[in-house]
């Protein structure tokens, strides 16, 4: 379908502003995938564990990956402000603040779960298209499993940071009952392990 507009009425400044915004969205989307790759290949975790500046060659060797692609990945991460580059030494470092958000699953600000949840939306694209055509909804269980696992990872820091210290004490009588002992069924985690082992 061809758009119907008069090019003579186009405001060049507004067009330029929109194109800058759209390009920002595009680069953010591409970078989101590179963050996911960084997590899956343990690139952030390796840099955080090392705790010192590292070359692209060292990181590739430590993670058993291609140095050329690691160099490209690092360049993207530097451009996005996720990693710091020291030109004279040709070394990269993961600042402690970024490491806290990207490399430690038990950190109160760990954000990689959000990226995994975002990935699920692309995997469910065909389902969304059909939903828009039919007007029918989509059950939670019909989403790709990345949505469930990503949501669990994303919300985990909040639960870890607040469940015992704030939320349970705010419920009348619950803390006292739990101190006497309780049985818990962690169904979701069990199912996740079973699927990963298949």
The continuous run of DSSP H or E covering 12 comes out as helix 12-40
Q: Phi/psi class of residue 186: alpha, beta or left (left: φ > 0; alpha: ψ in -120 to 50)?
A: beta
The continuous run of DSSP H or E covering 91 comes out as strand 91-93
Q: Tell me: do 98 and 127 sit in the same domain.
A: no
Q: Tell me whether strands 84-86 and 91-93 are parallel, antiparallel or unpaired.
A: antiparallel
The domain tally of the chain equals 2
**115 with 30: CB under 8 angstroms?**
no
Q: Which of 37, 68, 102 is the last residue of a domain?
A: 102
DSSP 8-state class, residue 84: E
Q: Tell me: do 30 and 50 sit in the same domain.
A: yes
Given a cut of 50, the residues of the chain with pLDDT beneath it are 190-198
CATH number for the domain including 47? 1.10.10.10
92: helix, coil or strand? strand
Residue 33 covered by a domain: yes
Distance of CA 170 to the CA centre of its chain: 31
CA distances, 160 to each of 40, 110, 114, 154, 178 (Å) = 23, 11, 17, 11, 17
Exposure on the CB side of residue 171, measured as CA atoms within 13 A: 11
pLDDT in tens, 58-91: 999 999 999 999 999 999 999 999 999 999 999 9
Query: What does pTM read for this prediction?
Result: 0.74
The boundaries of the domain holding residue 137 are 105-198
* pLDDT for position 1: 64
Q: Which two tokens stand for residue 142?
A: 């019909």
* pLDDT for position 159: 84
The continuous run of DSSP H or E covering 15 comes out as helix 12-40
13: helix, coil or strand? helix
């Amino acid at each position: 379908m061809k758009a119907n507009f008069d090019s003579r009425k186009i405001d060049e400044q507004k067009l330029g502003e929109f194109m800058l915004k759209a390009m920002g969205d595009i680069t953010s989307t591409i970078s989101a995938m590179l963050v996911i790759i960084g997590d899956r290949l343990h690139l952030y975790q390796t840099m955080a564990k090392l705790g010192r500046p590292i070359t692209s060659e060292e990181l590739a060797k430590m993670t058993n990956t291609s140095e050329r692609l690691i160099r490209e990945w690092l360049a993207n991460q530097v451009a996005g402000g996720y990693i710091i580059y020291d030109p004279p030494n040709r070394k990269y470092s993961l600042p402690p603040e970024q490491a806290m958000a990207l490399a430690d699953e038990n950190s109160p600000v760990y954000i990689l779960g959000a990226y995994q949840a975002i990935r699920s939306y692309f995997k469910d694209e065909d389902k969304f298209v059909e939903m828009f055509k039919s007007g029918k909804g989509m059950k939670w269980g019909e989403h790709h499993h990345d949505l469930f696992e990503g949501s669990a990872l994303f919300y985990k820091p909040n639960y870890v940071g607040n469940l015992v210290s704030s939320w349970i004490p705010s419920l009348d009588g619950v803390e006292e009952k739990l101190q006497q002992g309780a049985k818990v069924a962690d169904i979701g985690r069990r199912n996740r392990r079973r699927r990963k082992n298949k």
